[in-house]
Amino acid sequence: MIKLGVIYQATPTLTLRAGYSDLDQPIPAGETFFNILAPGVVEKHYTIGGSFAVNERNPVSLFVAHMPEVSVQGSNSILPGFPPAGLGGGNANLHMEENSFGIAWQRKL
């Protein structure tokens, strides 16, 4: 597992951030069936962002993140006989790629 992050105070009102994470696959091939609804199979995360203080009481922050495509092929992931092979039994295979962004405004009292 590797996790790195940097913060750079560019000006008194602008803070820049970047991060990287590389993890081992969290979902074993034998447990893919139980992760169909939430296939958290991504391994790498790349993130950039920053904050800008409009004034002392109103900072605005934003970020963009990318998680590259990852697939996990199931291996005996559906219990034998449930459901029967004729009704879709076999393995559950997972695939995921993710991009996200966010923006936040804070109002300090």
- pLDDT tens by residue, 39-49: 678 889 999 99
Q: Are 61 and 107 a contacting pair, CB within 8 Å?
A: no
What is the structure's pLDDT at 87?
57
Percent of the chain with pLDDT over 70: 83
Quote the CA–CA distance of 74 and 52 in Å, as a whole number: 45
Q: What's the pLDDT tens digit per position in 8-31?
A: 999 999 999 999 999 887 777 777
Mean pLDDT of the chain: 85
Q: Is the pLDDT of residue 33 over 90?
A: no
Which of 72, 75, 65 lies closest to 98, judged by CA? 65
* Cα 9–Cα 48–Cα 19 angle in degrees, nearest 5: 85
**What pLDDT, on a 0 to 100 scale, did the predictor assign at position 23?**
87
Domain interval for residue 15: 2-105
Residue 16 has a pLDDT of: 98
Q: What's the CA gap between 24 and 4, in Å, rounded?
A: 15
State in Å, rounded, how far the first CA of the chain is from the last one: 40
Q: What is the pTM of this model?
A: 0.73
Report the domain count for the chain. 1
